[in-house]
Amino acid sequence: MVERIMPEPYRIKMVEPVKVPDRDEREEALKRAHYNMFGLRSQDVYIDLLTDSGTGAMSKYQWGALMIGDEAYAGADSFFSLKKAVKEILGFDYVVPTHQGRAAENVVFGTLVKKGDVVPFNMPFDTTRAHIFNNGGEPLDCVIDEAYHPEVQHPFKGNVDIKKLEAAVAKYGKDRIPFVMVTITNNSGGGQPVSLENLRQVSDVCRSHGILLLLDGARMAENAYFIKTREEACRGMSVAEILKETMNTADAITVSCKKDPLVNIGGMVCSRTEELHNSFLPRVILFEGYATYGGLAGRDLEALALGLREMVDEQYLAHRVAQVRYLGDLLGEGGVPCVTPAGGHAIFIDAAAFLPHIPQSAYPADVLGIEIYREGAIRGIGLGALAFATPDETGRIVYPKLELFRLAINRRTYTNHHIEFIAQTILDVYGRRDAIRYGLKEGYAPAVKGMKHFLVHLEPYAL
Ligand code: F0G
């Protein structure tokens, strides 16, 4: 059933005009893009759901704060605005800014991961996975089995399977496991939350073995909102309180601030101890900039400090999560197979079930992307074999268990009417799914492991 949705808890002060390209223009754009959604120009897209990263709208307070940015190279006031917000909202004493989330990963993983290491995750995001590889380590998925079944209902499908984690710790030991990392919410598994109870269990396992626990907090506020609405023990708590409790389980976090913290650019590493914080500083200075600006302008730090405060606003979060669910409900009502329950930032269509006649080796998630763009000039992104298939030691291709297509909803950007148009467009594609009978083959592809889907040139071929 489609639940009624409340209107947006904001009003529009500035508009960004967008154009709807006609069908011929869309065909031309697809050819120019080599059928890769990353290759499309923004002006070729009517509704852009490629990512929720850095694509949201800042508030008038954030825009106002840009004017008070302190651009001193070291010790800028704006850094201390950020440090204060981090302490108040997340409880960490130490923070280093970075230019975005993967830069935070580069700093942390480059410091802590050595060749031959294994890093247990619930599931890492694609750039996170690539950064572990890049530092000579291997990520290990320890998410609960329910995560691999799009139709199975579970309130916390991002949870770590504690048995899998304990088995990994028993197998590789503290010497080969520099830390355990939990992604909240689990983006690769459908934007699914992790419960506070589960995080505490993971933390207990880590502490009893002297292993650090890190969180990837890109969507930590949405995760806290899900905990508030789904975890009985936390019902009476505010999102802000839950978020602090969540953070209390971890030794450090990396954050892409382009997501929940509501800025267009920025990242950070927050740590519990001075020792851990200090260990990160040389790499921050080497790759990002001095420790108090880390690749960002002072004005960016001011906007981020406010974004951290705004992200725990419960009216905002209630609408955000409801808007994403509304899209899921409209699609579900029309029979479109999606990961359920709806994620916090995105709806993930089960492309394998949508296009069951297209084998995974022909990249059905990416075929679906092309068809949705063709139908409504809407851009999403395939998260299936093209992004995640990897060869094993013998060269045999290992396909991911999930073949998903993601529609990421930008924060405070699109209205509920846009959501209805998106749903109708996808239902139209669903109505003609049997006639979609082609696959995609690769032309140019970069050699770096984990990078293919961003840059690959694709060519349709008839099946
Ligand atoms: N961690 C998670 C869970 C992410 O979703 C992302 C980015 C990153 C880390 C890296 O952060 O982009 O600031 O360098 N996800 C984007 C996405 C790109 O589309 O989901 P970044």
Q: Which of 125, 186, 192 to mutate to test the pocket of ligand 1 (most atoms within 8 A of CB)?
A: 125
Angle, to 10 degrees, between the axis of helix 126-134 and the axis of helix 101-112?
A: 30
Mutate which of 185, 256, 268, 287 for ligand 1? The one with the most ligand atoms within 8 Å of its CB, which is 256
CATH fold for domain 23-52+313-462: Aspartate Aminotransferase, domain 1 (3.90.1150)
Looking at the chain, the whole-number percentage of residues with pLDDT higher than 70 is 100
* Pocket mutation for ligand 1, best pick of 37, 48, 49, 53 (most atoms within 8 Å of C-beta): 53
Distance (angstroms) between ligand 1 centre and the Cα of 54 equals 10
Q: Is 264's pLDDT higher than 80?
A: yes
Across the range 38-54, mean pLDDT stands at 98
- The Å distance, Cα 443 to ligand 1 centre, comes to 26
Name residue, tokens 């075929």: 367
Residue 76 pLDDT:
98
218 is catalytic: yes
Rounded to the nearest 10°, the torsion over CA 243, 249, 250, 256 is -20
pLDDT of residue 459: 98
Task: Write the Ramachandran bin of 230: left for phi over 0, alpha for psi from -120 to 50, otherwise beta.
Answer: alpha
Q: Would you state the pLDDT for residue 174?
A: 95
The catalytic position among 157, 258, 259, 277 is 259
In this prediction, residues 75-81 reach a mean pLDDT of: 98
Total number of residues shown for the chain:
463
pLDDT in tens, 346-379: 999 999 999 999 999 999 999 999 999 999 999 9
**pLDDT band per the 50, 70, 90 thresholds, residue 54:** very high
Mean pLDDT of all residues in 113-134: 93
Q: Ligand 1 centroid to 421 CA: how many Å?
A: 26
> Any catalytic annotation for residue 125?
yes
DSSP code of 251? Answer: S
pLDDT for 234: 97
* C-alpha 268 – ligand 1 centre gap (Å): 12
> Domains of the chain: which residue ranges?
23-52+313-462, 60-310
Please tell me the pTM assigned to this model: 0.96
Same fold, 23-52+313-462 and 60-310: no
Q: If you average pLDDT over residues 115-143, what whole number do you get? A: 94
Q: What is the mean pLDDT of residues 96-117?
A: 97
d(CA 387, CA 367): 13
Catalytic option among 126, 240, 389, 399: 126
Closest-CA residue, ligand 1 atom 9, reads 101
pLDDT value of residue 2: 84
Least confident of 86-95, 144-153, 416-425, 428-437: 144-153
Q: pLDDT category, 122, cuts 50, 70, 90? A: very high
pLDDT in tens, 2-16: 888 999 999 999 999
Q: How confident is the model at residue 392 (pLDDT cuts 50, 70, 90)?
A: confident
Q: What is the pLDDT of residue 449?
A: 76
CA distances from 101 to 168, 215, 253, 280, 357 (A): 26, 12, 10, 15, 37
pLDDT band at 269 (very low <50, low <70, confident <90, very high): very high
Q: Spell out which residues line ligand 1, taking CB within 6 angstroms.
A: 51, 53, 100-102, 125, 127-128, 183, 187, 216, 218, 256, 258, 267
Name the fold adopted by 60-310: Aspartate Aminotransferase; domain 2 (3.40.640)
Residue with the nearest Cα to atom 19 of ligand 1? 51
Residue nearest to atom 16 of ligand 1 (CA): 53
C-alpha to C-alpha distance for 455 and 433, rounded to whole angstroms: 27
| 417 catalytic per annotation | no
Annotated catalytic residue within 22, 31, 73, 174: 73
What is the gyration radius of the CA atoms in the chain, in angstroms? Answer: 21
What's the mean pLDDT in 220-232? 98
Which of 109, 181, 187, 264 most suits a substitution to test ligand 1, by most atoms within 8 Å of the C-beta? 187
Residue 82: left (phi > 0), alpha (psi -120 to 50), or beta? alpha
101 CA → ligand 1 middle, Å? 6
Q: Please check the confidence at residue 447 and state whether its pLDDT lies above 90.
A: no
Residue 78 main-chain phi, psi, to 5 deg:
-65, -30
Spatial distance between the Cα atoms of 13 and 103, rounded to a whole number of angstroms: 33
- Asked if 52 is an active-site residue, the reply is no
Decide if pLDDT at 419 tops 80.
yes
Active-site annotation holder among 33, 57, 130, 218: 218
What would the pLDDT profile of 285-299 be if each residue is shown by its tens digit? Answer: 999 999 999 999 999
For 349, residues 6+ apart whose C-beta sits below 8 A from its C-beta are 331, 336, 337, 338, 339, 368, 404, 405, 406, 407, 426
Is a pLDDT exceeding 90 seen at residue 450? Answer: no
Closest protein CA for atom 17 of ligand 1: 51
Ligand 1: which residue has its CA nearest to atom 8?
101
Distance of alpha carbon 116 from alpha carbon 387, whole angstroms: 23
**pLDDT at residue 319, as a whole number:** 97
Q: Which atom of ligand 1 is nearest to the CA of 104?
A: 14
Closest C-alpha among 216, 207, 220 to residue 181: 216
Residue 127: its pLDDT value, please? 85
User: What average pLDDT is seen over the chain?
Assistant: 96
What's 286-355 look like in SS3? HHCCCCCCCCCCHHHHHHHHHHHHHCCCHHHHHHHHHHHHHHHHHHHHCCCCECCCCCCCEEEEEHHHHC
Residue 453 annotated in active site: yes
* Residues sharing a CB contact under 8 Å with residue 31, sequence separation 6 or more, in sequence order: none
